[in-house]
Chain A
Amino acid sequence: MNEIGLTHILFLSAILFFIGVYGFLTRRNMVTMLMSIELILNSVNINFVAFNKFLHAGKLDGTFFTIFIITIAAAEAAVAIAIIIHLYRSNKSIDVNDADLMKF
């Protein structure tokens, strides 16, 4: 029986990070892109908490950072969704390919 250690958790967070990056780059729906960003942020959160618990248990820097990231992610999502809704009112679409008024 192997115990779950830092390596496993870092592996999980790396996978989450790259799923997020892949989703952000391939999905064309703006809300899905926003969800991919949340995935990346969660992978960062896992990283911070794991490092804090396994390597630097004396201080709580990592945990505090995680709390701030969660708060800021909420603020970011709120503003982003407001802007997306505003675009939807005039464009009738939240597909990135339809937002093509400006190119090169």
Chain B
Amino acid sequence: MREEQLVIKMNTDFFILLKPELSLTFIIFILLIIKVSDGMNKNSSIIHLANFLLLINFLLGFIGNATGTLFSDMYHTNGLIALEKNILNFGTLIISLQAYEWLKNHKHVIEFYILLLTTLLGMFFMVSSGNFLMFFLGLELASIPLAAIVNFDLEKIKSSEAAVKMILSSAFASCIMLFGISLIYGTSGTLNFAELPTLITNNPLQILALIFVFTGFAFKLSAVPFHLWTADVYEGAPVPVTAYLSVISKAAMVFVFISVLNPLFQNVQNVWYNMLFLTIVLTITIGNLFAIRQNNIKRFLAFSSISQVGFILLGISSGTTMGVSASVYFLIVYIFSNLGAFGVIALVAAQTEKENISDFKGFYKNNKTLSWIITIALFSLAGIPPTAGFFGKMFLVTAGASKGNYVLIIIAVLNMVVSLYYYLRVVKAIFVDENESPIEKIESNLYSKIALYICMAGIIFTGFASVLYDYINSLM
């Protein structure tokens, strides 16, 4: 009798704790069955269905979250991880809404959604992994299908070139990280996150392992000097996929980085702090300097996202819970602002094929609302006060300052001034510059409108409403 009850309890635990992954898997299976049975041929009805399922999936994330572990510590979840998964779900939903314009004429809509949701599933497992094996499996599940959807503009050479660059460099990064993991295993005898912190000491081999693992992470986060793949992949990929790469996959990597770097390598904090210091300075500075000279707007946003990653790393470098909450808060703001900008670019690219900053000259003349939306989004990315981006950056810099390394803070703040220049360059092109043939009026569909208005509301209100930041803090 006792045993039976235990089994039932274990089974319900399984369904409650694994709920986000199970609901995603369920959606993937529904789409697969539709694909196999050839039941739905119209693109728009598939997109409606997928958006509806994603919305349900997002709403499910808010109810019945529990704390616990599964599969003998391989998988663990708690309030913070549930919030992180909700953030990822939300971003995917917005991207799916924005992708309507591009997908409605595409031949392989279902495959796009299946691959997209598979990468999301991988990210979920990665975020809640409690063991290096689970972490590695999640990482690969997140990165291999991603290369396939980068190639989704099937007739464009640029798209396949970007996919080749993406898969070769991400495979290389995983290899480097794996070598580090093997050294950690050799020196400590375990792969379990719960047992590792006490076993990692100042042993030289473990420091070498830390360097390898850190390198792998830096590759995936596209931190300088491992950023070279980023701009090419972002430029070649279709716009919604670029948005996905720069927001969702980056956010997932940051979440894992938070839960691996400081908790696991506490004993060698001075070592990784110095590595992180160098990486942050290089990332922010080089990201900014290269963003200035870009003409393609997707490349421009790629370099801007590189420098934003530098700021997130600045928050993480503090190694405190304040740094963690500042990073999570900034990522929410970053999702709103970056997706606001990408939403407008996706509409323009789908209807006119124009992607250069010079094409945006005189954009305000025919598209008043869209101009204001992209302007507010860029202001938020630059961190101009009334928008949420300002508060996000302020929390990150405050968290970074807790170490008392003022050289780092001064470099970061000076770079914020530089970044103002290039964000305002785009705004100037939209509002001030003359153009004989400005972009015609862009027709936006209902989905894009909803997505853009949600992003605008997010940029304006997450800054003023302290509820969100307090909520994140309460989860620590």
On A, residues with C-beta under 8 Å from B are 17, 20, 24, 30, 33-34, 37, 40-41, 43-44, 47-48, 51, 55-56, 59, 61-62, 64-65, 68-69, 72, 75-76, 79-80, 82-84, 86-87, 90-91, 99, 101-104
B195-238 residues with Cβ-Cβ distance < 8 A to A are 231-232, 235-236
> Is B137 touching A30 in the complex (CB atoms < 8 A)?
no
> Is B158 touching A101 in the complex (CB atoms < 8 A)?
yes
Given contacts A79-B147, A83-B163, contact A65 B133 (CB under 8 A): yes
Give me 13 A-to-B residue pairs in the complex whose CB atoms sit less than 8 angstroms apart, sorted by A's number: A40-B179, A41-B175, A44-B182, A47-B179, A51-B186, A55-B189, A56-B189, A68-B136, A72-B140, A79-B144, A79-B167, A87-B160, A101-B161
Given contacts A69-B178, A101-B157, A101-B158, contact A76 B191 (CB under 8 A): no
The reply to whether the CB of B190 lies closer than 8 angstroms to some CB of chain A is yes
Residue interface mask B145-175, A partner, CB < 8 A = 1? 1011001001001101111110110011001
> Is B164 touching A83 in the complex (CB atoms < 8 A)?
yes
The reply to whether the CB of B16 lies closer than 8 angstroms to some CB of chain A is no
> Is A83 touching B144 in the complex (CB atoms < 8 A)?
no
Chain B interface size range: 35 or more
> Is B189 touching A24 in the complex (CB atoms < 8 A)?
no
Of chain B, the residue at the smallest CB distance from A48 is: B182
Neighbouring B residues of A79 by C-beta, 8 Å: 144-145, 147-148, 167
Bound-state CA distance A80–B181 (Å) is 23
Neighbouring B residues of A61 by C-beta, 8 Å: 133, 185, 190-191
> Is A65 touching B140 in the complex (CB atoms < 8 A)?
no
Closest-CB distance, A30 to chain B (whole angstroms): 6
List of 6 A-B pairs having minimum Cβ-Cβ separation, nearest first = A51-B186, A47-B182, A40-B175, A87-B160, A56-B189, A102-B232
> Is B185 touching A48 in the complex (CB atoms < 8 A)?
yes
Given contacts A48-B182, A65-B185, A83-B163, contact A76 B157 (CB under 8 A): no
Neighbouring B residues of A69 by C-beta, 8 Å: 136, 178
> Is A84 touching B133 in the complex (CB atoms < 8 A)?
no
Given contacts A44-B179, A47-B179, A87-B161, contact A64 B133 (CB under 8 A): yes
Contact partner of B157 among A20, A48, A87, CB < 8 A? A87
Given contacts A17-B179, A40-B179, contact A34 B191 (CB under 8 A): no
The reply to whether the CB of B183 lies closer than 8 angstroms to some CB of chain A is yes
Neighbouring B residues of A37 by C-beta, 8 Å: 168, 171-172, 175
Bound-state CA distance A40–B180 (Å) is 12
Bound-state CA distance A65–B132 (Å) is 9
> Is B160 touching A55 in the complex (CB atoms < 8 A)?
no
Given contacts A40-B179, A76-B140, contact A30 B190 (CB under 8 A): no
On B, residues with C-beta under 8 Å from A are 132-133, 136-137, 140, 144-145, 147-148, 151, 154, 157-158, 160-165, 167-168, 171-172, 175-176, 178-179, 181-183, 185-186, 189-191, 231-232, 235-236, 290
> Is A62 touching B185 in the complex (CB atoms < 8 A)?
yes
Neighbouring B residues of A76 by C-beta, 8 Å: 140, 144, 167, 171
Bound-state CA distance A24–B164 (Å) is 14
Closest-CB distance, B140 to chain A (whole angstroms): 5
Bound-state CA distance A93–B175 (Å) is 26
Bound-state CA distance A60–B181 (Å) is 15
Bound-state CA distance A96–B168 (Å) is 11
Closest-CB distance, A82 to chain B (whole angstroms): 8
> Is A68 touching B160 in the complex (CB atoms < 8 A)?
no
Of chain B, the residue at the smallest CB distance from A37 is: B171
Of chain A, the residue at the smallest CB distance from B299 is: A102
> Is B183 touching A83 in the complex (CB atoms < 8 A)?
no
Of chain B, the residue at the smallest CB distance from A40 is: B175
Neighbouring A residues of B190 by C-beta, 8 Å: 61
Contact partner of B160 among A59, A75, A83, A104, CB < 8 A? A83
Bound-state CA distance A103–B232 (Å) is 7
Closest-CB distance, B230 to chain A (whole angstroms): 11
Closest-CB distance, A65 to chain B (whole angstroms): 6
Neighbouring A residues of B147 by C-beta, 8 Å: 79-80, 83
Neighbouring B residues of A43 by C-beta, 8 Å: 179
Neighbouring B residues of A59 by C-beta, 8 Å: 189
Bound-state CA distance A6–B168 (Å) is 31
Neighbouring A residues of B182 by C-beta, 8 Å: 44, 47-48, 51, 62, 65
Neighbouring B residues of A33 by C-beta, 8 Å: 168
Contact partner of B178 among A34, A44, A82, A83, CB < 8 A? A44
> Is B158 touching A102 in the complex (CB atoms < 8 A)?
yes
Closest-CB distance, A73 to chain B (whole angstroms): 9
Using A47-B186, A65-B182 as known contacts, list a sample of 11 further A-B pairs with CB atoms less than 8 Å apart, ordered by residue number in A: A30-B164, A37-B171, A43-B179, A44-B175, A44-B181, A48-B182, A65-B185, A72-B144, A87-B161, A91-B160, A103-B232
> Is B137 touching A102 in the complex (CB atoms < 8 A)?
no
> Is B140 touching A87 in the complex (CB atoms < 8 A)?
no
Contact partner of A68 among B133, B162, B175, B176, CB < 8 A? B133
> Is A24 touching B172 in the complex (CB atoms < 8 A)?
yes
> Is B186 touching A102 in the complex (CB atoms < 8 A)?
no
Given contacts A37-B172, A43-B179, A65-B191, contact A72 B137 (CB under 8 A): yes
Of chain B, the residue at the smallest CB distance from A54 is: B186
> Is B162 touching A102 in the complex (CB atoms < 8 A)?
yes
> Is B232 touching A80 in the complex (CB atoms < 8 A)?
no
